[in-house]
């Protein structure tokens, strides 16, 4: 029974990889390889997810191994952020991984909530330290020379995301 479940998991993973590789949406990533920043951010994000999963799956009280993988996660996260800003979504990805794959073991105690909140505040503080106190001014300053506002960009991006999702099927 266990071997059969392993075979099904492999088949599902192989089909998902094939679907991902052959999907027409992926042609942009292949033909627009000039975006090294996006490739680097994706690589470090995947490494971060791998480190998180390895640390999460450590058995027993192997604190040193867990700490090693979680430090790797933090390092990968910082490198991904340094590559491209959209890597800020890594923590949200980890939350989704927890919800979808580890739902039965989630125990959001007060202690775990405090750890999550402190982690978020650390990343926010590090970003402000790295970019300076004018972090938000720098983001919005470039819109003075553009023909659209930040609000218009957000509305356009949501339409683009829905369009890309429609291309999947």
Mark whether 151 and 120 lie in a shared domain: no
What letter does residue 34 receive in the DSSP assignment?
T
Q: What is the structure's pLDDT at 143?
A: 75
Q: Tell me the CA distances in angstroms from 106 to 62, 102, 118, 156, one per residue in order.
A: 19, 6, 18, 36
Question: What total of structural domains would you count in the chain?
Answer: 3
Give pLDDT, residue 110.
65
State which residues form the domain around 147: 134-169
Q: So what's the pLDDT on residue 27?
A: 59
Which two three-digit tokens encode residue 17? 């990889």
Instruction: Verify that 47 and 30 share a domain, yes or no.
Output: no
Q: What is the mean pLDDT of each run of 10 residues along the chain (169 residues)?
A: 64 84 64 71 94 84 84 93 85 83 67 72 77 67 78 81 77
19 shares its domain with 56: no
8 with 70, same domain: the answer is no
pLDDT at 155: 83
Q: Looking at the structure, do residues 46 and 127 belong to the same domain, yes or no?
A: yes
Does residue 44 share a domain with residue 80? yes
Q: Are 113 and 155 found together in one domain?
A: no
pLDDT at 152: 84
What is the token pair recorded at 38?
């996006």
Write down the pLDDT at residue 100: 78
Say how far apart CA 86 and CA 21 lie, in whole Å: 22
| Whole-number pLDDT of residue 148 | 81
């Amino acid at each position: 029974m266990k071997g059969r479940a392993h075979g099904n998991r492999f088949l599902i993973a192989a089909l998902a990889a094939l679907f991902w590789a052959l999907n027409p949406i992926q042609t942009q990533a292949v033909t627009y390889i000039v975006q090294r920043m996006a490739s680097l951010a994706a690589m470090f994000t995947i490494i971060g997810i791998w480190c998180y999963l390895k640390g999460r799956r450590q058995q027993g009280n192997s604190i040193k191994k867990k700490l090693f993988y979680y430090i790797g996660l933090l390092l990968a996260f910082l490198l991904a952020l340094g590559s491209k800003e959209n890597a800020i979504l890594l923590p949200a990805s980890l939350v989704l991984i927890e919800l979808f794959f580890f739902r039965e073991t989630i125990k959001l105690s007060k202690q775990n909530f405090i750890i999550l909140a402190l982690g978020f505040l650390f990343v926010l503080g590090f970003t402000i330290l790295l970019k300076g106190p004018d972090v938000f001014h720098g983001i919005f300053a470039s819109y003075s020379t553009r023909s659209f506002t930040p609000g218009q960009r957000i509305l356009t991006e949501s339409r683009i995301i829905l369009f890309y999702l429609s291309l999947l099927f």
